């Protein structure tokens, strides 16, 4: 059965030439390379190591504990959280913003890399895009479970109900609903479409129940030129469409804060600041995920130092941009010297929240900057990984520092308050991280975590570049000159 991609997806050349070129391309495939690739990348689907049997119960137990904590909260009332008056939002919204931010790891970055034709992206795309889908799902749970009456969450959904009332479309929370559901739908499509050819490959390489499962999942993929053409067109459309959606999602999340007249929330800088922070934490999350995949699934030959190096450069840029934003925000606040804003400002700079603030600056800028700016560290894999770990921590603190100090120091000093989390909130937070790990593990067991067909396309493209000089000299034309995993075509 013909399921190999015919070298190059169809739109790149004239439609009439499709059938002529395909056989040549399939002939040029080095069968050993393709076979090794199949073996390496399908191994996680077919074999399960003991690590899986250790990780899944551990992570599963943490997730179950979080579910239990939520049940406890519903049963007793949300008073089991540490929230109070005036700090009505804390860990819940921090986690919400944090995970929506992490979700900018995948779809946005890979869409940009796809459009920019950065071919080194090929092994990175899928493990990035799946972060988007899972992080978005985890983040989107929080607006529901943080409700005082979570069982009525569907009142946020616009549907013609017997209550004869729509949601309030002026509320940023209603905008959240639309933004997040659009982004989730878009990134699911963006993730699932390119999986279909790989599921077809798994279908053809397996027998028994796996064969039956993947036969259903592959949706009758035959690898005909028409199918490839449609896939490529759909991915082009989605790549263009998903970028404004992704930007709008985190802008709207930022508007949850900046629409309210609360000191240090009510700020025009929040939209771009949040988008920047989201991409920043997203890349950090992606680098960490790639590091674990490389170690645990033995993908050393696919996730190369150059990928960490390139993503490290992106991360460095985002770190600088993030620092620029927070500097601009703090400087204008301090210079403006408005009484209510200064109460919040000083509580973070040298007051109760100062230890967190300066930890954040260390984690997001002072530690990552040298690790990412100096080539020797950046190219070493471990450099970007350490930087990413501190950034993930730093960005979580950043979200917390956006949410809590402002409402804890809001206008009338008589109502100033503070906040301390309870075990329920801490368990829920731990549960989100465990859920992310668990989802990721299950996904990598069901889907080749590196897009096999896209890698092969990269390889074919390299092979198909005709070298006029070598042709004239009569040298063998079709040798593997460049590494397909990083090559430009």
Neighbours of 272 (CB within 10 A): 15
Closer residue to other proteins in complex, CB, 98/257: 257
Token code pair at residue 162: 């017997």
Task: By CB under 8 A, tell whether 268 contacts other proteins.
Answer: no
Closer residue to other proteins in complex, CB, 76/479: 76
Q: Is 117 left (phi over 0), alpha (psi -120 to 50) or beta?
A: left
Neighbours of 227 (CB within 10 A): 18
Site for other proteins in 335-354 (CB under 8 A): 339
Sign of CA dihedral 134, 135, 136, 139: positive
Least separation, in Å, of the C-beta of 211 and other proteins?
A: 47
Task: Work out the burial of residue 148: count CB atoms within 10 Å of its CB; fewer than 13 is exposed, 13-18 middle, 19 or more buried.
Answer: exposed
Least separation, in Å, of the C-beta of 401 and other proteins?
A: 15
Task: By CB under 8 A, tell whether 146 contacts other proteins.
Answer: yes
Task: By CB under 8 A, tell whether 152 contacts other proteins.
Answer: yes
Which range binds other proteins by CB under 8 A, 81-89, 133-141, 225-233, 318-326?
81-89
Task: By CB under 8 A, tell whether 17 contacts other proteins.
Answer: no
Which range binds other proteins by CB under 8 A, 14-22, 74-82, 219-227, 284-292?
74-82
CB 253 within 8 A of CB 265: no
Task: By CB under 8 A, tell whether 76 contacts other proteins.
Answer: yes
Site for other proteins in 167-206 (CB under 8 A): 167-168, 170-174, 177
Task: Work out the burial of residue 479: count CB atoms within 10 Å of its CB; fewer than 13 is exposed, 13-18 middle, 19 or more buried.
Answer: exposed
Name the DSSP letter for residue 57.
Answer: H
Closer residue to other proteins in complex, CB, 19/76: 76
Task: By CB under 8 A, tell whether 209 contacts other proteins.
Answer: no
Rounded to 10°, the helix 172-192/125-145 angle is: 150
CA distance 277 to 152: 32
List 34, 67, 118, 147, residue binding other proteins (CB under 8 A): 147
Site for other proteins in 402-441 (CB under 8 A): 407, 410-415, 417
Q: What residues line the site for other proteins (CB under 8 A)?
A: 76-79, 83-89, 143, 146-150, 152-153, 155-156, 165, 167-168, 170-174, 177, 256, 259-262, 339, 407, 410-415, 417
């Amino acid at each position: 059965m013909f399921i190999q991609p015919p070298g190059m997806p169809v739109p790149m050349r004239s439609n009439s030439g499709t059938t002529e070129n395909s056989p040549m391309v399939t002939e040029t495939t080095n069968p050993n390379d393709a076979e090794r690739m199949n073996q390496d990348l399908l191994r996680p689907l077919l074999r399960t190591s003991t690590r899986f049997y250790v990780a899944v119960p551990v992570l599963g137990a943490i997730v179950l504990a979080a579910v239990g904590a939520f049940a406890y909260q519903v049963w007793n009332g949300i008073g089991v959280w540490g929230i109070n008056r005036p700090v009505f939002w804390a860990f819940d919204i921090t986690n919400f913003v944090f995970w929506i931010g992490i979700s900018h790891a995948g779809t946005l970055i890979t869409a940009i890399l796809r459009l920019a034709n950065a071919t080194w992206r090929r092994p990175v795309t899928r493990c990035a895009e799946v972060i988007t889908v899972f992080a978005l799902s985890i983040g989107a749970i929080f607006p529901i479970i943080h409700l005082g009456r979570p069982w009525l969450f569907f009142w946020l959904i616009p549907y013609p109900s017997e209550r004869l009332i729509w949601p309030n479309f002026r509320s940023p929370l209603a905008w959240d609903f639309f933004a997040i559901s659009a982004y989730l739908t878009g990134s699911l499509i963006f993730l699932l479409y390119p999986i279909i050819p790989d599921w077809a490959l798994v279908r053809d390489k397996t027998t028994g129940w796996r064969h039956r499962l993947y036969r259903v999942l592959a949706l009758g993929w035959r690898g005909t030129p028409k199918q490839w053409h449609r896939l490529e067109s759909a991915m082009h459309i989605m790549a263009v469409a998903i970028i404004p959606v992704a930007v709008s999602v985190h802008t709207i999340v930022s508007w949850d804060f900046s629409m309210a007249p609360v000191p240090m929330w009510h700020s025009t800088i929040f939209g771009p600041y949040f988008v920047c922070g989201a991409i920043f934490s997203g890349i950090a999350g992606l680098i960490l995920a790639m590091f674990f995949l490389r170690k645990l699934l033995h993908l050393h030959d696919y996730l190369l130092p150059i990928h960490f190096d390139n993503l490290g450069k992106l991360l460095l840029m985002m770190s600088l941009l993030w620092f620029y934003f927070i500097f601009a925000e703090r400087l204008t606040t301090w210079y403006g010297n408005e009484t209510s804003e200064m109460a919040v400002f000083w509580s973070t700079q040298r007051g109760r929240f100062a230890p967190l603030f300066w930890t954040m600056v260390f984690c997001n800028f002072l530690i990552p900057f040298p690790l990412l700016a100096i080539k020797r560290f950046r190219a070493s894999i471990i450099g970007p990984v350490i930087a990413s770990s501190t950034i993930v921590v730093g960005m979580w603190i950043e979200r917390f520092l956006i949410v809590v100090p402002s409402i804890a120091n809001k206008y009338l000093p008589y109502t100033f308050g503070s906040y301390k989390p309870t075990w329920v909130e801490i368990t829920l937070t731990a549960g989100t991280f465990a859920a992310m790990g668990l989802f990721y593990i299950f996904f990598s067991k069901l889907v080749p975590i590196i897009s096999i067909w896209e890698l092969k396309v990269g390889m074919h493209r390299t092979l198909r570049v005709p070298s006029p000089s070598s042709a004239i000299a009569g040298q063998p034309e079709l040798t593997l000159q460049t590494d397909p995993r990083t090559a430009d075509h």
